[in-house]
Structure formats: structure tokens, C-alpha cells
Amino acid sequence: MSFLIHPVLLCGGSGTRLWPLSRKSFPKQFAAITGAQSLFQGAAERLSGPGFGAPLVVSGNDFRFIVTEQLAACEIAARAIVIEPEGRNTAPAVLAAALVLAADDPQALILVAPSDHVIPDDAGFRDAVQAAAPRAQAGDLVTFGITPTRAETGYGYLELAPEADARADSPQRLARFIEKPDAARAAEMLASGQFLWNAGIFLFTAETLIAAFRAHAPEILALVEVSVAQAQCDLGFTRLDPGAWAELPDISIDYAIMEKAANLSVMPYAAGWSDLGGWDAVWLESGPDGQGNVTSDHATAIDCHGTLLRSETPRVELVGVGLEDIVAIATSDAVLVAHKSQAQRVKDAVAALKTCGARQATEFPVDHRPWGWFESLAMGGRFQVKRIVVKPGASLSLQSHHHRSEHWIVVEGTARVTIDETVQLVTENQSVYIPLGAVHRMENPGKLPMVLIEVQTGSYLGEDDIIRYEDVYARGQGAKG
């Protein structure tokens, strides 16, 4: 018997441990780290097809158009995209999704999955979900436990009940959750065979989860119920009410519910999994060669061993000579070099960059927008040069600036440009000037991407110097809206 599973994909994390490829403005779930697709796209495809309903996605406001664009590229239509007003960890996010699904079917089987994990065997994982479904339908909160392959200190663990079998192909009784251990304790747990890694993947009915919150975290339930009840529809997105949401604690579903509930089961899974929690994990999942090296395009290893060399841009050729157990990651605006054993400390580097005010700590060089993307090519005290790519049929907002003028040079395609009352077509090798304060808009009326070079001059060049008058994406005011 096949059960209908409703996937809930969580994609609000910042992924600082994979800096500089993953940053707050474009976190790792949307990046192509181990293949051509993003991790989010891989998760969406893994949990689709026979036996799975359309996914419900929970994300932050700044990522809502990235979510829709990446799903469209996979030809997957979301059941709903729920927008969190601000990050409050997994407990409120999962509960909000359950309440949305319960409105249609309280018995809906919900599979909660982070969107930044790697699970190589899609079919094997889908089979494991179906094998766990009867226990979830019967009223258990089922978590997925990964068979450990090493004494890992970066994961939480699940302790099986004494009579449980860690190699079983059906859900087993779960004794308790265990925090990330030290090396000695991790080795003991690995040797015992009665512990699994906590993957943060859960299966339950909407009704079961809501009842668990009613019993163990009623204050969270009350606030999330208000936020969902007062949610607003915006261009097909479901925006949770920010008033009640702001009062919620920042708490994981493990702490809020799972560590308190008695109706717990764990589904063992041994066919491969990684949360890509650091560059050491990326090295391992990328399939090192005979010398233990992993290199990307535009990266070369000479007499290196156990090393990850990765360049994210053809403008930077990364070369390692005589390196051992080193991670080196180059983007167009930042370079990370670390010993593989120190990979978990990358978040400390991000914190240090934030302290000194470096924009590279959080901002990605490519800024994704619903109409396309742009990147900064050069910047000075009173000028900035950008490359802007506008998707076919897309349009920037009708806008003006207080502090800068702009000069646009079209290098590919054709732009329809509005400046105050004048509308004109600007083609390749043509340019147009936007005076300070002028109300203007840029559109791509063609069927191919339009590329232009923008030269800004003025006393302030921040993205928040923008007043929107009209916007097909209903973004409101602010840098991104």
C-alpha cells in the first residue's frame, strides 16, 4: 500500500559554515554545491512523483522569488510557499506548515525535510518514507536516523530503545535525543551500534503534531495559530502575520516537542546522507580522487593530498602546490583557506568579518531579484559599475533615487526604457542617461536575456536608495522589498 506524503521543505537557513559560497543573501540550499542542481532543487525532486503531493515550502521573504524560479526550472509547482516574517527556527516553521495542511486534511501525512541535505539514493529514501508511513499514520512522531559511518562530533544522535534494531527496515522505538558529543563519547556510541545520527527529517500527521504542541508547547501553538489565521495572500505567497510571529521564541522542533514526547519512533536509514555542514563534508561527498583531492573547474592541484580546491568564477584560477588536508575556496570577492580539520570554524571567520563590517560576510557578489540578477564589477567613493541581466519579459520597478544618477549601456538584447514621460527602445551598443531624481524603469521586451552595464555616480550608492512607484512583483519599499 502506498501512502500520499505531503513534503514540507524548510529553506530559511543561512549556511555560514559553507562561506564564501553560502551567505545570508544567498544561502547554500540555493547553490549548486555537489552537482548541476541546487540542493533545494535536489530535495524538491527527491520528494516528488508517485506517492508525493506538491511540496509546501517555508522560506524567508528575501528568498521567495528564488524558490519559485528554482521550482519552475524543475517543473515542480508548489502547493504553497509560506513566508516567515523573520526566522524563528524550526518549531514555529514546521507548526505553521502543519496548520496550513490541516485546514484541508487533519490526517495529512507530512514529511518535514531541510532543503540543504544530500541524499544520493532518491528511490531508496522514498522507499524508507513509505516504510515509515504506517507508524506515522498510527500516531507516532517518526524521525529519520542515519546509520553512522564515523565518530562524528558535528551531529546530534538518537539513542534506540534497548529492544530496537538499528539495521531494521521499519520504524523502531526511540529512547532519547542526544546533543552533539565530544570525540570520546562519539566513539563509544559508534561502537555500541545503538545510536543513529539525527537527520532532522520527520514524518507525522498534521493532527499528531498539533496535538504534541498542544501538550508540550501550548504557548507556541497559540501564537502560530494566530499568525496562520491572519496570514495574507500576496502574489500567490502566504505571508504569515508578523505581529504574533514576533512574539515566538527561537526554538527548534527537537527542543520544543521531540525531546518531550513519548510517541516517538525512528526510521533507520543507511543508504547515504550528509547535511553538508562544512567544507570537509563537501570534500567527502564530492568523491576525492586517488590522491584524496577534489578540484573544480578553474582549480589545479599539484602534488597535493586530501585537499579541496574550488574556484567559483572563471576569472580566478586557483592553484594549490604541495598542500595536504587543505580547503581553499575562491569566489569573485573572497577567498577561504583552512585546514580541513578546522572546517567547522568557518562560522568564526564570518563572525570576524561581520565585526569589521565587511560586506562579504553576508552579501553575495551576485544579487538575485525576481526580474533577474546583477553584480558589482567596480566601486569607488562616488561611483559603481554593475552588470545587470534581465530575464525575457521581466521588468524592474518604476522607481527613482535621491542620491545617484545612472548611465545604462546595453550590451546584449534590447531594453525598453522609461524616463519620466519618455519611453524608448535601447539596443546593443546604445546607451541612455538617467538623471538624479528621474522616475524610470527598465524592461526586457525580448525573448532572450537582456544584459546591460550600469554606471552609477552620486553621493550614496546603497541599494536602499530607491523609491518604488509601481512594481509587478509587489515588493513594497526597501532594498529588496
- Does residue 362 have a pLDDT over 50? yes
- Angle in degrees, CA 164, 165, 171, rounded to 5: 75
Rounded to an integer, what distance in angstroms lies between the CA atom of residue 141 and that of residue 44?
A: 22
- The DSSP letter of residue 138 is T
- Please list, in sequence order, all residues whose beta carbon lies within 8 angstroms of the beta carbon of residue 101, skipping any fewer than 6 positions away: 6, 8, 56, 108, 110, 206
DSSP state letters, 30-68: GS-SSSSS-HHHHHHHHT-STTB-PPEEEEEGGGHHHHH
Rounded to an integer, what distance in angstroms lies between the CA atom of residue 389 and that of residue 358?
A: 25
Rounded to an integer, what distance in angstroms lies between the CA atom of residue 112 and that of residue 271?
A: 19
3-state class (DSSP) for residue 416? strand
Q: What is the pLDDT of residues 337-349, one digit of tens each?
A: 999 999 989 999 9
Roughly what angle, to the nearest 10 degrees, separates helices 206-216 and 90-102?
130
Q: What is the pLDDT of residues 168-186, one digit of tens each?
A: 999 999 999 999 999 999 9
Residue 479 pLDDT? 61
Residue 58 pLDDT? 97
Nearest to 5 by CA among 57, 51, 56: 51
Taking the model in full, what pTM does it have? 0.88
Over residues 186-203, the mean pLDDT reads 95
Residue 1 pLDDT class (50, 70, 90 cuts):
low
DSSP E strand boundaries for 278-392: 294-295, 299-302, 308-311, 318-321, 326-330, 335-339, 366-369, 372-379, 383-390
- Does residue 288 have a pLDDT over 80? yes
Residue 480 pLDDT? 62
Query: For 185-209, b where at least 16 C-beta lie within 10 A, e where not — what string?
Result: bbeebbeeebbbbbbbbbbbbbebb
Query: For 292-307, b where at least 16 C-beta lie within 10 A, e where not — what string?
Result: bbbbeebbebeebebb
Q: Which residue has the higher pLDDT, 277 or 97?
A: 97
Rounded to an integer, what distance in angstroms lies between the CA atom of residue 376 and that of residue 454?
A: 9
DSSP state letters, 342-359: GGGGHHHHHHHHHHTT-G
| 322 contacts 302 by C-beta, under 8 angstroms | yes
Residue 475 pLDDT? 80
Residue 205 pLDDT? 98
Q: What is the pLDDT of residues 24-52, one digit of tens each?
A: 888 999 999 988 899 999 999 999 999 99
Which domains are delineated in the chain?
5-269 (3.90.550.10), 279-353 (no CATH), 366-470 (2.60.120.10)
| 65 contacts 11 by C-beta, under 8 angstroms | no
Rounded to an integer, what distance in angstroms lies between the CA atom of residue 204 and that of residue 5?
A: 10
- The DSSP letter of residue 10 is E
Over residues 246-266, the mean pLDDT reads 95
